[in-house]
Amino acid sequence: MSIYVGNLSYDATDEDLKTVFAEYGTVKSVKLPTDRETGRVRGFGFVEMSAEAEETAAIDALDGAEWMGRDLRVNKAKPRQ
DNA sequence: GTTGAGCGTT
């Protein structure tokens, strides 16, 4: 299971995200897809944690929360096709 | 601007 994180600041980095989610559990991986043409983050990302309970806690705590001036959109990610 | 990539044999 992974977590989708949307409405991110375009200044946010994977380390920033990891730091935030690490408060709710062990972050296994963080991904911030970048636009191939601009080389910049697209404004959303993915986080994987070691336990589903941790992911749920992080989603519950961070969805709708303000971070770097933006209201985060956090929920369970769709399976990548 | 709202659901990734991996590209080479883990």
Cβ count near A32 (within 10 Å): 20
Q: Residues 6 or more apart from A3 whose CB is under 8 A from it?
A: A21, A46, A47, A48, A49, A55, A58, A59, A74, A75, A76, A77
Whole-prediction pTM value?
A: 0.91
CA of A52 to C1' of B3 (A): 18
Which strand B nucleotides have any atom less than 7 A from protein CB atoms? Answer: 1-6
Backbone φ and ψ for A79, nearest 5 degrees, come out as: -60, 135
Instruction: Give pLDDT tens digits for A38-76.
Output: 888 999 999 999 999 999 999 999 999 999 999 999 999
